[in-house]
Amino acid sequence: MPQAPYAMLAAILALATAPIASAAERQHVLPGAPAPDWRPSLLVREQPPASGDRSHPVLYVHGASFPSALSIMFRFGGRSWADALNDEGYDAFGLDFAGYGGSERYPEMAGPQAGAPLGRAEDAARQIERAVAFIRQETGARTVSIIAHSWGTMPAARFAELHPELVDHLVLFGPILRRDGPRDVEPNAWTLVTNDQQHRRFVKDVPAAHPPVLEEADFPTWAATYLASDPGAADRSPPAVKIPSGPSAEVIDAWSGKLPYAPSRLRVPVMVVRGAWDSSSTPQDAERFLAELPPGLERRFVEIPEGTHLLHLETGRHALYAAVNAFLAGR
């Protein structure tokens, strides 16, 4: 399996430490539509480079539990992933899926928890399609590169499968990939997530004797921002963010043999990048996935040492930024 050696990571890491060259964040709302043909309004965040050049857009697609303000746009140690993209001349965008952050909630999220899981990949892929159409119109770019994390790799890959002509590069960070395990019980329509649950999830893969890699100094601000992403969070006891359960249902699907896209039908350059401690996205998962890609398709596999599934919130994030920038630039 092709893999970038640690020496390469050390070399490209220097590219991630340049001064921030970013303009102010902008927020764009893509209008929705009411019932009976309900369509959610969507928030797309944008942080262009200071140069104002918007000709190289990159769209970040978040995972199952927290939106763009807590991922690509959040500054750990004063620097965000969007800043690192800006330093390379990319216009950084982040989409909030329906049910998260600044985007509209599914109407069913106001009702009982019981029900079919909301926010599955097929629906989310249509939301990516809307975001990409907006970005192309807004920037004049013909194609958009996509960086997706965790469950977000499923709708991102599904979109790339359907619209390869619109995708420049596809980065799958900590992707949830196919396994052949037993099927678990399907979740409800939505679920609640507390900051304590998030923190436990963030640190669970770190070896017991190893110092923390999560940026703990910034976690209180992250946690407050997370609760603020859901207007109803503070009214719950304990405070908790309500999120759709479709992503969790699709993790269950994937680990029992079913993906919402076919790796063999991807036609765009693909990168798989993971933290070396990530139990949700293993080297074996990546090896199987990469072997299923079409022969001759450009592909890259990078493993970042001392990182987990939440590498973008950790001390090793600069190596992640640099490795992704190198792939996007064809280095």
> Which pLDDT score is estimated for 181?
82
With a threshold of 0.75, does the pTM exceed it? yes
Domain presence at residue 308: yes
Can you list the alpha helix ranges (DSSP code H) found in the chain? 6-13, 81-87, 121-139, 153-162, 195-203, 219-228, 246-255, 283-292, 317-329
Find out whether 64 and 247 touch, Cβ atoms under 8 Å: yes
Specify the number of domains making up the chain.
1
Convert the pLDDT of each residue in 13-51 to its tens digit. 444 444 556 678 999 999 999 989 999 999 999 999 999
What phi-psi label fits residue 246: left (phi over 0), alpha (psi between -120 and 50 degrees) or beta? alpha
Q: What is the CATH number of the domain that holds 56?
A: 3.40.50.1820
Backbone angles phi, psi at 113, to 5 degrees: -70, -30
- Whether 196 is in a domain gets the answer yes
Domain housing 315: 6-329
CA distances from residue 114 to 27, 122, 245, 251 in whole angstroms, order as listed: 33, 21, 11, 19
In a domain, 41, yes or no: yes
Low-confidence ranges of the chain (pLDDT < 50): 1-18
- Report the distance separating Cα 245 and Cα 64, nearest Å: 8
Predicted confidence at residue 23, as pLDDT, reads: 73
Closest residue by Cα to residue 22 from 76, 125, 93: 93
Q: Is residue 1 part of a domain?
A: no
pLDDT of amino acid 24: 87
DSSP 110: G
Burial of 104 (0-12, 13-18, 19+ CB in 10 A): buried
293 backbone dihedrals φ, ψ, rounded to 5°? -70, 155
Distance CA 122, CA 115 (A): 18
